[in-house]
Amino acid sequence: MSAIESVLGPRLAAAASMASPREAEGVLLSARNLVKTYRARGHRRVQALSDVSFDMIPGETLGVVGESGSGKSTLARAVMALPAPDAGTVHFDGAPVFAARGAPLRALRQRMQMVFQDPMSSLNPAHRILDIVQMPLEVAGRGDARTWREQAMQALASVGLDGNMVGRRRPYELSGGQCQRVSIARALVLRPELLVCDEPVSALDVSVQAQVLNLLEDAKAAHNLTMLFISHDLGVVRGISDRVMVMYLGKVCELAPTDALYRSPRHPYTATLLASVPSLEPSRRARHPDAPASARGETPSPLAVPSGCRFRTRCPRASERCAQEVPQLLAVAGTHGPGEPQGPLGHAVACHHPLPAPD
């Protein structure tokens, strides 16, 4: 059991056992073929996202995991058009996000909010806490000054902060955990439908992590939120997510319901990632019988990604086909049938030689 799981205890266990949202409820967020490239030194370029596609169902939490440099934070910003990717589309409730301009874009942004990784740098140090939380209401033109203050005080109270105590303080007068609570209050004050959380607890100690995660679960239940939750902590993701998407060097390796992915990973990289998590429980240490104990070699440079499958240089199951052909994200047996395109809630893997399902 990881440290964060031991702190959260039954709360995370209950969240992990929640039934996945029903496919019949439709798709709230649909991302297709997202590509984002950054310029490196000289004329070289880094492709942080490469043909990334996924759907999100209303009310679900989609966890995104992967090593540093896998494209998780770039994905979060791309979904929010901060900035928009070089190619691809994102539709929110049927509306194209990247094509929106002016008033339609402002209206969409009120329904999609983000909690950034570093709570201190995401808050203006010159502004007081109450002003920071009520500013989204002012920008959106919702109500008057009295309404802004009342709703800001309510938002602070919903994250466990007393507006009368912290409202006139500035971010540098608060702890990291308190600043992250302020960031969440600022994101929730507009009552969004989608909350994008980019490593919201990575900079916090374990006890504060538990408080923030519990807070997010409470906010999700109270406001019927849909969450895109990005983290490198596999224990946290397991506890808070309905589904998990695994990324490697800008590509999606595997996408599956949380229980299915942790119980039966089908991509060699996913299995290796899960096997690397330290645990005192023998059941948690057990790995897929066909997976390597650890991936061989080092992660390739993003400036020179391998041809075909990007994981092939570290994968013991790689073949000549892996070097020549980019694997597509397809449903595996037991979901929508082998070889079929992935559905909103299916178990899909991008691998020419996926691991067999355990007996």
pLDDT in tens, 5-60: 443 444 444 433 333 343 435 899 999 999 999 988 777 888 899 999 999 999 99
Residue range 51-71: mean pLDDT, rounded:
92
For the segment 231-254, what is each residue's pLDDT rounded down to a tens digit?
A: 988 888 998 999 999 999 999 999
Return the beta strands (E) in the chain as ranges: 29-39, 45-56, 61-65, 87-92, 95-96, 112-115, 194-198, 226-230, 243-248, 251-257, 330-331, 348-349
pLDDT confidence of residue 3: 44
Is pLDDT of 329 > 70? Answer: yes
Angle at alpha carbon of residue 128, lines to 125 and 134, rounded to 5°: 115
Beta strand 348-349 with 251-257 is antiparallel
Is pLDDT of 62 > 60? Answer: yes
Residue range 50-74: mean pLDDT, rounded:
92
Q: Residue 58 in 3-state DSSP? A: coil
Is pLDDT of 359 > 90? Answer: no
pLDDT confidence of residue 344: 53
Q: Name which residue leads in pLDDT, 160 or 270.
A: 270
Is pLDDT of 220 > 50? Answer: yes
pLDDT confidence of residue 19: 36
How far apart CA 181 and CA 161 sit, in angstroms, is: 8
CA 166 to chain centre: 29
pLDDT confidence of residue 270: 93
pLDDT confidence of residue 280: 57
pLDDT confidence of residue 14: 41
For the segment 277-319, what is each residue's pLDDT rounded down to a tens digit?
A: 776 565 554 455 555 545 667 788 888 889 999 999 999 888 9
Roughly what angle, to the nearest 10 degrees, separates helices 176-188 and 206-223?
10
pLDDT confidence of residue 68: 87
Is pLDDT of 71 > 80? Answer: yes
Residue range 185-212: mean pLDDT, rounded:
86
Is pLDDT of 226 > 80? Answer: yes
Is pLDDT of 213 > 90? Answer: no
Residues above pLDDT 70, as percent of the chain? 84
Reported as a pLDDT band with limits 50, 70 and 90, residue 345 is low
pLDDT confidence of residue 173: 94
What residue segments make up the domains of the chain, in order of their start?
A: 265-349
Asked if 336 and 346 touch (Cβ cutoff 8 Å), the reply is: yes
For the segment 108-127, what is each residue's pLDDT rounded down to a tens digit?
A: 889 999 998 888 888 999 99
How far apart CA 244 and CA 65 sit, in angstroms, is: 7
Is pLDDT of 190 > 50? Answer: yes
pLDDT confidence of residue 24: 38
Is pLDDT of 358 > 80? Answer: no
pLDDT confidence of residue 22: 39
pLDDT confidence of residue 16: 38
Residue range 149-159: mean pLDDT, rounded:
91
How far apart CA 249 and CA 298 sit, in angstroms, is: 12
How far apart CA 254 and CA 329 sit, in angstroms, is: 7
For the segment 249-267, what is each residue's pLDDT rounded down to a tens digit?
A: 999 999 999 999 999 999 9
pLDDT confidence of residue 276: 81
How far apart CA 113 and CA 103 sit, in angstroms, is: 16
Residue range 89-105: mean pLDDT, rounded:
89
- Average pLDDT across the chain, whole number: 83
Asked if 19 and 260 touch (Cβ cutoff 8 Å), the reply is: no
Q: Name which residue leads in pLDDT, 66 or 4.
A: 66
